[in-house]
Amino acid sequence: MIELRTPAEIEEMRPAGRFVADVLTRLAAEAAVGVNLLELDALAHEMITQRGATSCYIDYHPSFGAMPFGKVLCTSVNDAVLHGLPFDYRLRDGDLVSLDFAASVDGWVADSAVSVVVGRARPEDARLIEVTTAALDAGIAAAQSGSKVGDISAAIAAVATSAGYSINTDFGGHGVGRTMHGDPHIPNNGRAGRGYPLRPGLVVAVEPWFLQSTDEIYTDKDGWTLRSADGSRGAHMEHTIAITDDGPIVLTARG
């Protein structure tokens, strides 16, 4: 079911957005050579506790997950692009890591992701992150009242295809509110002018993710982490936004 939020409810969602943004800003700064993925997850857990927030991930067990997630942060490194289950791994120079985090504050959820390179970035990795960021910006810019979900999808796809990346539509954006995942689904490819109307009060996560040389993925033996079929690297960017008459509000804006 798709729910529309009142202006007052969107204001109530702002603290969740700010908290998620602050956590990702801190984690991105802490992601350095030698830092363990479990240390990043522990830091996110500590920040959740200090804020009195609730993790959206730790007990999450959808049909595509082998078991409850068990951690509070997704850490996808190099050929992993989504749902990366933190494990005992120390980041190395040149690693591309995507950090995906969602939490509930006062009953409202926000969801966001960012990709960074640890240490020295390879040119192809820097380009992948740049294109994925541009696709996120384009998707948000297309999220105007009176438009359609397909307008967001088409805007994201136009950036990806112009850069030579193919697109997987198995996972994409989604509604956000009292829970982390809701309707409507927002694929990263679609036809402009098609799909659910974007109305004031609709709150969604827009989340482009691309792989360097494939759109095929498989699930790692950990039962969660999604990796590229050919070993190429991936990047993932995401913001929670609210549709208003005056344009989209980015609830998880960082910085």
Which pLDDT tens digit goes with each residue over 148-199?
999 999 999 999 999 999 999 999 999 999 999 999 999 999 999 999 999 9
Helices 149-162 and 123-141: crossing angle in degrees, nearest 10, is 160
Express each pLDDT in 230-249 by its tens digit.
999 999 999 999 999 999 99
Question: What is the set of domains in the chain, with CATH numbers?
Answer: 7-250 (3.90.230.10)
Rounded Cα distance, 181 and 174, in Å: 6
Task: Say if residue 255's pLDDT is above 90.
Answer: no
Residue 38: burial class (beta carbons within 10 Å; 0-12, 13-18, 19+): middle
Q: Residue ranges for the binding site for a divalent metal cation?
A: 100, 111, 174, 207, 238
Q: Residue ranges for the binding site?
A: 83, 100, 111, 174, 181, 207, 238
Give the pLDDT band of residue 24 (cuts 50, 70, 90).
very high
Rounded Cα distance, 6 and 215, in Å: 38
**144 in helix, strand or coil?**
coil
* Dihedral of the alpha carbons of 188, 15, 23, 253, in degrees to the nearest 10: 50
**Average pLDDT rounded to a whole number, residues 75-87:** 98
What is the sign of the dihedral through the CA atoms of 139, 127, 214 and 85? Answer: negative
Rounded Cα distance, 203 and 112, in Å: 13
**Tokens 């960074």, residue located:** 116
Task: Say if residue 1's pLDDT is above 90.
Answer: no
Q: Residue ranges for the binding site for substrate?
A: 83, 181
How much helix, strand and coil, in percent to the nearest 5, is found in the chain? Answer: 30, 25, 45
